[in-house]
Each structure stands twice: as C-alpha cells, then as structure tokens.
C-alpha cells in the first residue's frame, strides 16, 4: 500500500500542533475523513440537496438515489440478504437503543435475563438499563481473562431458561480484543437466543459478513470508518425487524395516518422516522468505496504491523509500561499506563508534542473497574498511520515518561 498516497487524501494530517506535525492516534474515537467523502458532502450541498423520498422533482429523485445507492452499498459491504435489513441511524448508539427499546420493549418480560460482557462500551450497557426501568430484567455479565479475552466457559454457564438476549461487541474499544462472535452467536442460537453485535470497532478493520456470522443485529458508525459523523447502521434480520414495533414515530415511517388508525411503512423505512441524514448517508457510500479500494484485509495487515511494532518497543523501552489487552487476536488499539502516572497528564503532555491520544475511561467504566484502574491512555491506529509516526509517538512517550518521573 502506498501510504503517502493514501495520506494525501487526508488534508487534516498535514496539520501541525504546537509546531509539531500532527500524529493522530485517536482513531478508535473517530477516524479522519478522505477528500472523496468530504467532496460527496460538498456535492450534495451544492448540487443535489433536496429531501429524500418525497418529491417527484429531479433534485429529490437524485438525492433519493444517492441515499438508496448507499444502502445497496452497505448491504453488499456487510453481505446482508436484502436492503430491507439495512436501517440508517445516527450511529452505533442509536442502533443499540433502537433494538433495546423496540425488541426489548416488545419481547422481553419481567424475569428475563440478558447477557452482556465486561468489555462493553456504555452504549451497549445503558440502553438495557433504561429498559430495566420498565421491566424487571436481569443483566448477566461475561467476565474477561488476564489478557483481555472473554471467558467463553463462563459465557456458556450464564445461559439458563430465563436467557432471552445476548449483546456483545465484535472488538473492544479499550483492549482491542476481537471476540469470537461466530462462536458466541452459535452458542446463543443453540439456546434460541438472538444476538446483537456492537461492530463499532470492527467495521473499519474486519470483513463483516452478517449472514456467515448469523448475527441477528449488527450495529456500526460511519465516523469510525472514514465516513461522516452523524450516520450509523443497524443491520437486523428481516423476520425480527418485521416483528418489532417502530422505535420512533414521524414522517417517512408511515403508510397512512389518521387520528383513528395509523399503519407503518415497510422495512427499512419503518425504523427511519423523520428526514434522515441523507447527505451523510451518501458520503458513507464514498467511505466504503475508500475502504474497498484499499481492501479491508490489507488495511488490517498494515495496522497490525504498526500495532506489533509499537507494542514491542513500548514494552522493551519504557520502564513500568503496562498494556491492557494483549490477546493474540486484537485490533490496532493500545491502552496503557506508565507506572502510577495519571493518564490525563500523559495525554496532555503528548498533545504538546503533537501526539493525539485519548485518555480516560473510554466509555467503559465497568471494564476499568475490572482492570482496577480509573482510566488509561489509548493509542489507536488507522490505515494512514506510518511507522515514522509510531517512532514519533515512541520518542514523545520516552520524553513524557521521563518528565513525569
């Protein structure tokens, strides 16, 4: 892969921070956006902006076609069986809230149990807790082992006659661990239990085939995969989506409305109330094209090289380095602490040297509790990062660790 050519598509990477070249290692939080995605947004605003699915005029038909061709692209990207199974949302968070509220609201009852994991992002915990306000549902939690993998034996032992739903992440945003979700799904299905996969951290790095995985629901966000902010996807199996009640009411999601009786639109529109972010959705198409033009396996291989190189040097060179999450199968995410130094101080000082990393609990406080820390520093890589940037990060890390010592 010609990384310099790839980088030239990302003008933001030419920025300097405190007179240092920007080294952007906060890709887990959001990735940067290539020109073709930005151009799609500009083109929409300057050439085709019109509300979708409502007009007979040319602009409206063009805007609708841009949105619907993005839906076809997403279907192909995740190998969904039909476009009716591809619902556009605001992001992973909204996708999970949709399932918790709609599926959970309709099909979970008092006394039921659901299974989550220790490594879930708050967006795969809190929506289920909101459901607990109206239903007496028990949340059972899969523990992790010392290297940050899910304990699958413990997972199997959590099932009982009350288990009704499983919701776990494909990859952890803190540990990087890639979970064996095919196995996790198969186990749940053996108990007749449907599974939602939070794919926020997987979609930018891993080939997703929802039919091969046999996932019932799969959620992800465009902004983490070189796409625009404000757009996400919920994949759901058609028979489940058809059985579920609408999540929000409004325009676009109805067939007919009267004060006496309202009927709902067919899938996927039943779950897309109101004007969607049709401009962002069209831009997501370009983000997927970008990923496909490079090849997701090639992207992952490059990121893995950066991960291995940086992890090895961090452990060899920085005294008292602790890395959280060392599973053999992991995404290019390094969560770490140096001695007893505060993650926030490290992040602030690294920023002064041009290095953008994330600090804190990463919206995974239960995981932080399990790790026995309040927060970590997290460096995470994308396709445009280079070995030279890893070197700059390591040099900066040496300096910061020494300063704090």
Residues that bind ligand PMP (CB under 6 A): 29, 91-93, 121, 123, 169, 173, 198, 200-201, 221, 363
Looking at the Cβ atoms of 131 and 200, the one nearer to ligand PMP is 200
Contacts of 151 (CB under 8 A, 6+ apart): 142, 143, 144, 145
Q: How far is the CB of 107 from ligand PMP (least distance, A)?
A: 23
Q: How far is the CB of 127 from ligand PMP (least distance, A)?
A: 11
Looking at the Cβ atoms of 123 and 311, the one nearer to ligand PMP is 123
Looking at the Cβ atoms of 169 and 349, the one nearer to ligand PMP is 169
CA atoms within 13 A on the CB side of 300: 17
Q: How far is the CB of 368 from ligand PMP (least distance, A)?
A: 14
Q: How far is the CB of 128 from ligand PMP (least distance, A)?
A: 13
Looking at the Cβ atoms of 62 and 198, the one nearer to ligand PMP is 198
Q: Are the C-beta atoms of residues 256 and 64 closer than 8 Å to each other?
A: no
CA dist., res. 118 & res. 116, Å (int): 7
Looking at the Cβ atoms of 121 and 164, the one nearer to ligand PMP is 121
Reply yes or no: is the peptide bond before residue 268 cis, omega within 30 of 0. yes
Using left for φ > 0, alpha for ψ between -120 and 50, and beta otherwise, residue 194 falls in beta
CA dist., res. 140 & res. 159, Å (int): 9
Looking at the Cβ atoms of 357 and 363, the one nearer to ligand PMP is 363
Q: How far is the CB of 181 from ligand PMP (least distance, A)?
A: 13
CA dist., res. 330 & res. 171, Å (int): 8
For the chain, the C-alpha Rg in angstroms (whole number) is 22
Q: How far is the CB of 314 from ligand PMP (least distance, A)?
A: 22
- The pair of structure tokens assigned to 146 is 């010392």
CA dist., res. 393 & res. 203, Å (int): 25
Dihedral angle, C-alpha 279, 74, 172, 314, nearest 10 ° = -80
CA atoms within 13 A on the CB side of 189: 12
CA dist., res. 306 & res. 310, Å (int): 6
Contacts of 255 (CB under 8 A, 6+ apart): 263, 264, 265, 266
CA dist., res. 185 & res. 182, Å (int): 5
Contacts of 216 (CB under 8 A, 6+ apart): 185, 194, 195, 196, 236, 237, 240
Q: How far is the CB of 136 from ligand PMP (least distance, A)?
A: 26
Looking at the Cβ atoms of 118 and 221, the one nearer to ligand PMP is 221
Residues annotated as catalytic (active site), given as ranges: 363
């Amino acid at each position: 892969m010609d990384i310099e050519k790839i980088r030239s598509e990302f003008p933001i990477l030419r920025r300097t921070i405190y007179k240092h070249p920007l080294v952007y290692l906060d890709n887990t939080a959001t990735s940067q956006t290539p020109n073709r995605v930005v151009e799609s947004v500009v083109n929409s605003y300057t050439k085709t902006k019109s509300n979708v699915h409502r007009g007979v005029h040319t602009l409206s038909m063009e805007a609708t076609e841009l949105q619907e061709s993005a839906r076809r692209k997403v279907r192909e990207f995740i190998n969904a069986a039909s476009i009716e199974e591809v619902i556009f949302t605001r992001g992973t968070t909204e996708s999970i809230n949709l399932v918790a509220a709609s599926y959970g609201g309709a099909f979970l009852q008092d006394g039921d149990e659901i299974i989550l994991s220790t490594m879930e992002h708050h967006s795969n915990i809190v929506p289920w807790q909101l459901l607990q306000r109206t239903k007496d549902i028990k949340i059972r939690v899969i523990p992790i082992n010392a290297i940050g993998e899910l304990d699958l034996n413990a997972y199997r032992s959590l099932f009982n006659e009350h288990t009704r739903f499983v919701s776990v992440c494909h990859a952890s945003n803190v540990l990087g661990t890639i979970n064996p979700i095919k196995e996790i799904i198969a186990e749940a299905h053996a108990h007749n239990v449907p599974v939602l996969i939070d794919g926020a951290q997987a979609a930018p790095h891993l080939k997703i085939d929802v039919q091969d995985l046999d996932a019932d629901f799969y959620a992800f966000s465009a902004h983490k995969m070189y796409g625009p902010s404000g757009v996400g996807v919920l994949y759901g199996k058609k028979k489940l989506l058809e059985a579920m009640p609408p999540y929000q009411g409004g325009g676009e999601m109805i067939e007919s409305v009267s004060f006496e009786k309202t009927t709902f639109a067919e899938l996927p529109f039943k779950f897309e109330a109101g004007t969607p972010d049709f401009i962002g959705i069209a831009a997501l198409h370009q983000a997927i094209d970008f990923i496909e033009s490079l090849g997701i396996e090639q992207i992952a291989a490059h990121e893995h090289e950066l991960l291995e190189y940086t992890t090895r040097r961090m452990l060899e060179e920085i005294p008292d380095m602790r890395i959280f999450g060392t599973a053999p199968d992991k995404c290019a995410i390094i969560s770490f602490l140096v001695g007893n130094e505060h993650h926030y101080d490290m992040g602030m000082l690294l920023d002064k040297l041009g290095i953008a990393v994330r600090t804190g609990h990463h919206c995974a406080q239960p995981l932080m509790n399990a790790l026995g820390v309040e927060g970590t520093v997290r460096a995470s890589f994308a396709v445009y990062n280079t070995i030279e940037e890893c070197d700059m990060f390591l040099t900066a890390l040496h300096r910061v660790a020494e300063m704090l010592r």
